[in-house]
Amino acid sequence: MRLETAIGRIRGSGYKVTPQRLAVLEAVAADQHQSMGELRRRCPGVGVVTVYRTLDLFSELGVVRRIDLGEGARYEMAEDHHHHLICEDCGKVDEFELCPLDPEQMPQVGAGFEVRSHSLEVYGKCAECR
């Protein structure tokens, strides 16, 4: 998602566009899959509480996505649908586009369950660690 689009989404949803929100937004945009610590380091002027609150807000607005792989949450800009490739040795996270889920098959997974989204993580050993 482009920064302008994200800013439009914030303002369009009735939220103020503050310097802090812009700083956090740019921090997230700087790199995918960052941890809270990395994000904080990228916007030193912004208070912890605000970083937490802002990421929560952005998640709700669909501007950023939160990824949970043990060892604390990570955040990424909401981009095209993709999944993650996680190296169990060095911890590097990569992405891949190919989505093996067939939406046609989804209704089968649980009777009466309304599917909204899904996340898929593939664990293993990356090329460098082999």
d(CA 97, CA 115): 20
| Interacting partner of 118 out of a second copy, DNA, none (Cβ under 5 to 8 A depending on kind) | a second copy
Nearest to a second copy of 26, 68 (CB atom): 68
Q: With CA atoms as reference, report the closest residue to 65 among 43, 99, 33.
A: 33
CB of 20 to DNA, least distance (A): 3
Pairing mode, if any, of strands 73-77 and 83-87? unpaired
Instruction: List contacts with DNA (CB under 7 A).
Output: 11, 15-21, 36-37, 45-50, 52-54, 56, 72-73
| Interacting partner of 45 out of a second copy, DNA, none (Cβ under 5 to 8 A depending on kind) | DNA
d(CA 103, CA 43): 39
Which of 5-13, 21-29, 32-40, 100-108 is the region at the interface with a second copy (rule: CB under 8 A)? 100-108
90 binds a second copy (CB under 8 A): no
Calculate helix-pair angle for 19-30, 3-12, nearest 10 degrees: 140
Under the phi-then-psi rule, with left for phi > 0, alpha for psi from -120 to 50, and beta for the rest, what region is 60?
A: alpha
Q: For residues 87 and 53, is the Cβ–Cβ distance under 8 A? A: no
Nearest to DNA of 81, 88 (CB atom): 88
Nearest to a second copy of 26, 60 (CB atom): 60
Token couple for 22: 């812009």
For a second copy, the binding residues (CB under 8 A) are: 66, 68-70, 73, 85, 87-88, 94, 96, 98, 100-102, 105-106, 108-127, 130
